[in-house]
Amino acid sequence: MLLCTSDAASDNQKKLETLRNTIKALQTEMTVHEKTKRHATDALRNTEQSISNINRKLVELRKNQQIINEELKQVLTKQKKLKHELNAERDQLSALLFQQYLGNEKNYLRALLNQQNPNQAAREMYYYQQLSKSSTENINNLHDKLNQLQTLAQAAHEKKDKITAIHAEHARQKVKLEQEKLNHKAIFTRVSKEIAQQQNQIDKLTQDEKRVARLVHEINNILKKDNKKAYYNTRLPDPTHRNDAFPILKGKLNIPVRGKLANRFGGQRSGRHVTWKGLFISSPQGSTVKAIASGRVVFADWLRGFGNLMIIDHSHDYMSLYGNNEALLKQVGDSVQSGDTIAIVGNSGGNPDSGLYFELRHQGKAFDPLTWIKLE
């Protein structure tokens, strides 16, 4: 009996040592994968920042192209008008020269037949010469203006060609960066999956009845929250140039993007012992994000866990946060109004789903945005 007990104790000790060695090996391997994940996150951040900058430059270039096209249109319109005036002036000069020619012939005949006063003929000749000189000067002035417009048109064409070339180069860079993003994201996703699998193995090796019971309780809470009626937002913040104090907007705000309200404030975050500090609105990639109220951009950059993040200060210690964007269209220091387009929806920051993460904070503390938002 003692021998059996001793053997059992020895066997259990060996099992315990084997279990500990297995956990240690998994933790070591997971540490390596965490390092790889951090590198992939940094590379993904740099790529997403570059894509955001490229997108902003492309928007600016399109605006510049529109301005140049309008300038070119105005120059061509002026050219057409001046050419019409030039042709009319030429026709007038031709008629004047013809009249001058006829006048010379008539004056010569009058002088022979009627003994006309030579001074009168000379005055008529001088009159025609002055008219001819004035018309010639007008034609020369019109030619000068046409040459100037031609120079402006040439400069506009050259500027337009240059902008087109830059636009094409930026577009090529964006394609390259998008491919790099896919590669970095593939590495990030693969390593994240491996880390999750290893963590699951460690959890299974170390779990006990209490942990399982707590997990079941947490899952039940998640299921209860998921069973809430889904809400799909279609209203966007109204465009306005009013600068109402933010506190009076409680209950009047709109969600900043169209989409399904996937997660709410206080809900359990999947696979984590933390809760949501804001809202996650599922929305197609490329959708526009609107400012909920007037304010000033105080942060516009990539942040771990939030991707391309923008923070707007609305004064009175209130701020709004917009995360996981594909591109940020405003910069730090920019003033915004309610309804202004400030970003483009994406899934930056390693988020597997496309959408917008949205928070409201007062004195730095997050609170439930739905207490301030007007739902349909």
Amino acid 7: pLDDT: 44
Query: Does position 220 have pLDDT exceeding 50, yes or no?
Result: no
Report residue 306 as tokens: 């939030």
Amino acid 14: pLDDT: 57
Measured CA to CA, the distance from residue 230 to residue 260 in angstroms comes to 7
| pLDDT tier for residue 368 given thresholds of 50, 70 and 90 | very high
Measured CA to CA, the distance from residue 210 to residue 216 in angstroms comes to 10
Give me the count of residues in the chain. Answer: 376
Q: Which of 115-119, 159-163, 241-245 has the lowest mean pLDDT?
A: 115-119
- In this structure, are 227 and 344 located in the same domain? yes
Report residue 2 as tokens: 């003692």
Question: Where are any strands of DSSP class E within the chain?
Answer: 231-233, 259-263, 279-282, 288-290, 295-303, 307-313, 318-328, 335-336, 341-345, 355-362, 365-367
Neighbours of 105 (CB within 10 A): 10
Q: What is the mean pLDDT of the chain?
A: 75
Question: What Rg do the C-alpha atoms of the chain give, in angstroms?
Answer: 39
| Domain membership of residue 350 as a residue range | 220-371
Query: Does position 238 have pLDDT exceeding 90, yes or no?
Result: no
242-273 residue pLDDT tens: 677 899 999 999 999 999 988 888 887 765 56
- In this structure, are 40 and 163 located in the same domain? yes
What percentage of residues in the chain have a pLDDT greater than 70?
65
Q: Is the pTM of this model over 0.75?
A: no
Measured CA to CA, the distance from residue 330 to residue 298 in angstroms comes to 10
- In this structure, are 309 and 174 located in the same domain? no
- Enumerate the β-bridge partners of residue 327: 344
Residue of 267 and 293 predicted with greater confidence: 293
The pLDDT of 220-244, averaged and rounded, is: 63
CA distances from 209 to 214, 216, 337 (A): 9, 10, 54
Angle separating helix axes 2-113 and 118-206, nearest 10 degrees: 180
- In this structure, are 151 and 239 located in the same domain? no
Going by C-alpha positions, the residue among 348, 235, 232 that lies closest to residue 283 is 232
22-77 residue pLDDT tens: 777 777 887 887 888 787 778 778 877 887 887 887 788 778 778 878 877 787 78
Domain tally, the chain: 2
- In this structure, are 269 and 192 located in the same domain? no
Amino acid 329: pLDDT: 96
204: exposed, middle or buried (Cβ count in 10 Å: 0-12, 13-18, 19+) = exposed
Amino acid 339: pLDDT: 92
The pLDDT of 157-183, averaged and rounded, is: 78
Amino acid 358: pLDDT: 96
Residue 290, domain member (yes or no): yes
Query: Does position 215 have pLDDT exceeding 60, yes or no?
Result: no
- In this structure, are 233 and 191 located in the same domain? no
Residue of 172 and 332 predicted with greater confidence: 332
- In this structure, are 356 and 267 located in the same domain? yes
User: Which residue is listed with tokens 């040592």?
Assistant: 17
Distance of CA 132 to the CA centre of its chain: 61
309: domain CATH number is: 2.70.70.10
Going by C-alpha positions, the residue among 89, 126, 87 that lies closest to residue 107 is 126
CA distances from 24 to 195, 326, 340 (A): 14, 39, 52
The pLDDT of 93-117, averaged and rounded, is: 53
Query: Does position 208 have pLDDT exceeding 50, yes or no?
Result: no
